[in-house]
Amino acid sequence: MLPKDFQWGFATAAYQIEGAIDKDGRGPSIWDTFCAIPGKIADGSSGVTACDSYNRTAEDIALLKSLGAKSYRFSISWSRIIPKGGRNDPVNKAGVNHYAQFVDDLLEAGITPFITLFHWDLPEELHQRYGGLLNREEFPLDFENYARIMFQSLPKVKNWITFNEPLCSAIPGYGSGTFAPGRQSTSEPWTVGHNLLVAHGRAVKAYREEFKTTSDSQIGIVLNGDFTYPWDSSDPADREAAERRLEFFTAWFADPIYLGDYPASMRRQLGDRLPTFTAEEKAFVLGSNDFYGMNHYTSNYIRHRTSPATADDTVGNVDCLFYNKQGQCIGPETQSPWLRPCATGFRDFLVWISKRYNYPRIYVTENGTSIKGENDLPKEKILEDDFRVKYYNDYIRAMVTAVTLDGVNVKGYFAWSLMDNFEWADGYVTRFGVTFVDYENGQQRFPKKSAKSLI
Ligand code: PNW
């Protein structure tokens, strides 16, 4: 059984749903800039309008209520709060007021806010000024300042997330170049990851020392992770490779937070490209999670490689596959090339995290799926999303099993996403929502079957 106070809810992120990119004094973010580069977004789109949620807060809250949500995870656009981003730059009252009102309205509706401070949309000015996430001195201080402003401005909020998926800021952002700011480097991802960890640690320390008032207020980071199985389970090299892949994915961030340093496998492969924690940095990072925020979608079979790792390798020198040696498939195709449903991987991953980090309190902060070809269907068919209904059913069962049989400590679950939205480099073609958004007809919302099957 799940605990009585279990938080069921839905998740979104500012740039993916808000639109209104010029309203109330918002400054540009790196995603505005990135979307304007031809060829970066599959359908040539951007978050200019998205779901227009900035202008539809009442509608979104009514939707959440109608779906029975106890809680809502959303993110704040930093460049609405400080349009230029930095600690000596002016604060934009209109932006702050917007989120303060939104929080009040959510609470009034009986919905608990879980706020992500940073879901990838760095103020463009900070990128121009000093290289943004690459700057080891400036970035953590500017993030801490922004975080403080939010803690102070939203005292009723008790659940805070510093960063969403630092891995996606670091690798697609600075390694493969498929996400903003679109840089391609073999060393920058590791610098960026490091700076995000330190910035997280600084914000957590500020929160705990100056703003945390009640024992039930909490702060943590959200990490993504796919689970892994060996391609050939009888081959020790594949078993080791599967473990190493998990370390490069998740322990990269979780080990410094829970254990005090990067995994040895990463140090071995990356050498000096992986920064070393100074004593001061370590003091900020170690022990900086009140809870573990888990984004989880899929699993892979992992095969070891025999040649040495290339400089651009970010996964631990392995092949990530959908088939194992016996030809068994991990799960059916979806619209997202990286995502195949495999619910047992969710249970096994919850257990892996729990064992490695001594059974932390876990919130599943994202889980969900796209559906192959969904966008090409007529609206009536999109609303009958049985594939997604089955996905949620299987994954939630796997989670309940992990809680009841494996002793995993899960306190909440947020489906990704409340509604179809701007799926980053995939644009609007890929839909993750439990609610259909009719982009052609004024962003109207229509709950799909999965929306009603969840809570
Ligand atoms: C998460 N991948 O990102 C994000 O937190 C959401 O903003 C996003 O919409 C959601 O998952 C669905 O994609 C990911 O390519 C983006 O492996 C890409 C990957 C994984 C997670």
What mean pLDDT comes out for the span 297-302? 99
- 391 pLDDT tier (thresholds 50, 70, 90): very high
pLDDT band at residue 94, thresholds of 50, 70 and 90? very high
Whether 309 has a pLDDT exceeding 80, the answer reads yes
- What's the whole-number mean pLDDT along residues 335-361? 98
For residue 423, give the ligand 1 atom closest to its CA: 9
Q: Whose CA is nearest to atom 18 of ligand 1?
A: 168
In this structure, the residue with its CA closest to atom 15 of ligand 1 is 338
Q: Alpha-carbon distance 60 to 50, whole Å? A: 14
Query: Mean pLDDT over residues 80-108, rounded?
Result: 99
CA 177 – ligand 1 centroid, Å: 15
Dist. CA 104 → ligand 1 center (Å): 29
Instruction: Give the other-Cβ count within 10 Å of 358's Cβ.
Output: 8
Q: At what angle do helices 93-108 and 57-66 cross, to 10 degrees?
A: 20
Residue 97's closest CA among 112, 116, 76, 113?
A: 76
Query: Side chain identity at 354, as an amino acid letter?
Result: S
Helix (H) or strand (E) holding 144, with range, is helix 138-153
> Mind listing the pLDDT tens digit for each residue in 192-223?
999 999 999 999 999 999 999 898 999 999 99
Axis crossing angle, helix 138-153 with helix 188-206, rounded to the nearest 10: 40
Ligand 1: nearest atom to the Cα of 339: 17
Nearest CA to 145 out of 186, 226, 89, 99 is that of: 89
Between the CA of 367 and the centroid of ligand 1 the distance, in Å, is: 10
- Average pLDDT estimate for 97-118: 99
295, 296, 322: residue to mutate for ligand 1 pocket, most atoms within 8 A of CB: 295
Mutational test site, ligand 1, from 18, 117, 165, 371, max ligand atoms within 8 Å of CB: 165
Of 213-217, 412-416, 445-449, the least confident = 213-217
Residue 436 Cα to ligand 1 midpoint, Å, equals: 18
CA distance 50 to 439: 8
Q: Which residues have any ligand 1 atom within 6 Å of their CB?
A: 13, 16, 164-165, 168, 224, 295, 338, 366, 416, 423, 432
Q: How far is CA 157 from CA 147, 165, 214, 444, in A?
A: 13, 21, 11, 29
Q: How far is the CA of 416 from the centre of ligand 1 (A)?
A: 9
Give catalytic residue positions.
165, 366
Ligand 1: which atom is nearest the Cα of residue 416?
10
**Which pLDDT tens digit goes with each residue over 36-59?**
999 999 999 999 999 999 999 999
Percent of the chain with pLDDT over 70: 100
Of all atoms in ligand 1, which is nearest to the CA of residue 417?
Answer: 9
CA dihedral 351, 354, 357, 362 (to 10 degrees): 130
Of 179, 224, 296, the residue with max ligand 1 atoms within 8 A of its CB, to mutate for a pocket test, comes to 224
pLDDT beyond 80 at 147: yes
Residue of 31, 299, 424, 437 with the most ligand 1 atoms within 8 Å of its CB, for mutation = 424
pLDDT at res. 455: 76
Secondary structure (3-state) at 50:
coil
Return the closest-CA partner of residue 15 out of 62, 66, 73, 76.
76
Q: What is the pLDDT of residue 388?
A: 98
CA-closest residue to ligand 1 atom 9: 423
Say how far apart CA 369 and CA 17 lie, in whole Å.
17
Whole-number pLDDT of residue 213: 87
- The confidence score (pLDDT) of residue 1 equals 81
For residue 376, the CA-to-ligand 1 centroid distance in Å is 21
Q: What is the pLDDT of residue 371?
A: 99
pLDDT tens readout for residues 362-388: 999 999 999 999 999 999 999 999 999
Banded pLDDT at 124 (limits 50, 70, 90): very high
Q: Supply the pLDDT for residue 184.
A: 98
171-199 pLDDT per residue, tens: 999 999 999 999 999 999 999 999 999 99
Distance (Å) from CA 337 to ligand 1 centroid:
11
What is the distance in A from the centroid of ligand 1 to the CA of 168? 8
The set of residues, in sequence order, having a beta carbon less than 8 Å from that of 69 and lying 6+ positions away, is 8, 9, 10, 111, 455
Which residue out of 31, 162, 168 has the highest number of ligand 1 atoms within 8 Å of its CB and is therefore the one to mutate? 168
Please report which confidence band the pLDDT of residue 263 belongs to, taking 50, 70 and 90 as the band edges.
Answer: very high
Whether pTM > 0.85 for this model: the answer is: yes
Domains of the chain, first to last: 7-454 (3.20.20.80)
Distance of CA 7 to the CA centre of its chain: 18
Cα–ligand 1 centroid distance for 176 (angstroms): 15
User: Closest residue (by CA) to atom 13 of ligand 1?
Assistant: 423
Of the CA atoms within 13 Å of residue 317, those in its CB half-sphere come to: 15
